[in-house]
Structure 1
Amino acid sequence: MPQPFVVAVVVTYEPDFPGLLLQLQTLRPQVQRIIIVDNASRVAVEGWCAREVPEVDECLRLPCNEGIGFAQNRGIESARRQGATHVLLMDQDSVPEADMVAKLLRALRSRPDVAAAGPYHVDPRQPISHSPFVWLHGLRFHRLSCEAASRIHVVDHLIASGCLIPLAVLEQVGMMREDFFIDFVDVEWSLRARAASLHLLGVCEARMRHSLGGPPIAFMGRSFLAYSPQRHYFQVRNAILLYRQSWVPKRWALASSWRLLLKIGFNCIAGNSRWQHFKMTVRGLWHGCRGRVGPL
């Protein structure tokens, strides 16, 4: 097999520079090139890269914030021009372990019908960590155990950050959907890949720190993921848009809608700005039914 040429595509928006620097320094020995695509941050990310971060090979600043899918696609296009065989998608707040990419590559080589491989990600703000990998059984998503570190699961979907994708798969499945703006972009691509009879792998031994959502909500002695009202708008709207696709299994749409209802209902009851959460949820539902896309 040809030697892999992995290009990391890191999307930034108003980044925390110390955290981003740690990510880039950890990524540098693992990949052949690093591309930052900045979604029109108010801070000068490209100037920071030029002055302080020799680890970055290219920094693309977009003139306006067009969303996560648009930024990922611009990075993928640049990686393709540079001869990449694989792209590693990364959010700005993810920090991989030193051997994450090698373990993802090994998993991709383990079978021919794979669209992408993703790591076991842990949110350091959560006191209890659960396996991030799920699979749909009946009408419920069940977590897949990673007690055996060497386990590789076929999973329902992968989050974008840490996802290693062969360029040949992107030619077959297509690029990221840009008009979703944010949320469900990775889920939509995952389901599209599965509709093309390809598998997604969750690699238990490949590890990454990753923060999901905002600061967790403490409730009855436990902490739960929290999102802003604006993010709930996109989650509801894009979920509705996704459920309307003919290639999305109805069983999957039912299970996903119930899961999303529980999560947003919890935030409307136990979170801050409850009325704003409710209003943005209803707005997202209305716009999803009307087929509205793009930014809020």
Structure 2
Amino acid sequence: MKPLTGQPSIVGVIVSYRPDVEVLRQLVEAVVNQVDRLLIVDNGMQVRADTAASEKIEIITLGDNLGIARAQNEGIARARSLGATHVLLLDQDSIPEADMVVKLLAALQSLETTGVSVACVGPNYQDDRHANAKPFVRLKYLHFKRQPCAGDLVEVDFLIASGCLITMSALDTVGPMADDLFIDYVDIEWGLRAQSIGLKSYGVCTASMRHALGDSAIRLGTKSIPVHSPLRQYYNVRNTLWLCRRDFISWQYRAALMLRLVYYAGFYTVLVPPRITRLRMMASGLYDGILNRMGKYRGKN
């Protein structure tokens, strides 16, 4: 699949781990005709062979859960070998609209035409559990400010990985996803790394996708807050400490990340059961983060 001169070639990369078969099927059906090839990187040998019903689809089985960053990197490497000019990253629980990719590509090409160095572009996603959620984020003072869609494009500090359209040239410049993180903060780290060397990320308001953020949600006043598993909280705490030690992270971002960590630690331990398990996992994340023990969690859930 070598692209013609000047013609983009987009390879989709879906990372799966214990997927809901029906949701994965819907995702494949929604995206397969929007890309030139579709790769499903299976973190655990649980994707059925009949998922690859089209010749455009290829399943890459890793044999074990190696983490989302490693899976994305494996998919990107395969896409590069296929001659891709662009990679579209997707989570297993996202459903793009039928015109999402063409709108992302048009926005990216328009930005590049005007001389903007683009890291990635991503869609305006909706989660049915979070009414009127604003998906795009920028740091303002020491607060992560949700950005509304006031026009066609919104400049952001980073994007969630799912729905991200990235050029191979941007990946060559910024580098791969950080395997050490395993899961959590992978997309944030890459976006901030790109930003630190002058590449910009944009939300494309006209491109749409349904996406489930978190395992569930809890209401706190007028806000609906995503709830993750205790294991994800381990990674969140540990990876926050790791990210704060990166040279390219500004002091404002370090302060904001630590304030956010304190806020969510209090939220989860006070309001979300099982509280003791969550506290224990966050303490483990703090301990391993201080010791710089990265990769897959080694303890008991």
The alignment's TM-score, normalised by the length of structure 1, stands at 0.93
In the TM superposition, residue 196 of structure 1 has moved relative to its aligned partner by 1.3
What is residue 38 of structure 1 aligned with on the other side?
Answer: 42
Q: 1:147-186 residue pairs with structure 2 within 5 A?
A: 148=150, 150-186=151-187
- The residue matched to 2:19 in structure 1 has which SS? coil
What is residue 76 of structure 1 aligned with on the other side?
Answer: 76
- Does residue 1:57 correspond to 2:52, yes or no? no
In the TM superposition, residue 252 of structure 1 has moved relative to its aligned partner by 0.8
- Per-residue CA shift, 1:97-132, capped at 9, x if unaligned? 111111111111122311100111111122x22211
In the TM superposition, residue 219 of structure 1 has moved relative to its aligned partner by 4.6
Moved over 6 A (4+): none
The answer (yes or no) to whether the contact 1:25–1:55 under 8 Å persists in 2 is: no
What is residue 94 of structure 2 aligned with on the other side?
Answer: 94
The answer (yes or no) to whether the contact 1:6–1:33 under 8 Å persists in 2 is: yes
Q: 1:142-221 residue pairs with structure 2 within 5 A?
A: 142-146=145-149, 148=150, 150-219=151-220
Amino-acid identity (%): 44
- The residue matched to 1:159 in structure 2 has which SS? coil
- Per-residue CA shift, 1:5-46, capped at 9, x if unaligned? 0000001111111111111111022111100000014x3x14
The answer (yes or no) to whether the contact 2:36–2:56 under 8 Å persists in 1 is: no
What is residue 47 of structure 1 aligned with on the other side?
Answer: 49
- Per-residue CA shift, 1:147-184, capped at 9, x if unaligned? x4x42011011111000000011111101111111000
In the TM superposition, residue 236 of structure 1 has moved relative to its aligned partner by 0.6
Structure 1's 104 and 283: CA in aligned 2 closer, same or farther, altered over 3 A?
A: same
- Per-residue CA shift, 1:193-215, capped at 9, x if unaligned? 01111000111111111111111
Distance 1:166 1:20 in 2: 25
In the TM superposition, residue 56 of structure 1 has moved relative to its aligned partner by 5.0
The alignment's TM-score, normalised by the length of structure 2, stands at 0.92
Structure 1's 263 and 5: CA in aligned 2 closer, same or farther, altered over 3 A?
A: same
- The residue matched to 1:110 in structure 2 has which SS? helix
**Alpha carbon RMSD of aligned pairs, Å?**
1.5
- Per-residue CA shift, 1:52-111, capped at 9, x if unaligned? x32752101112111001001111011001110000000000000111111111111122
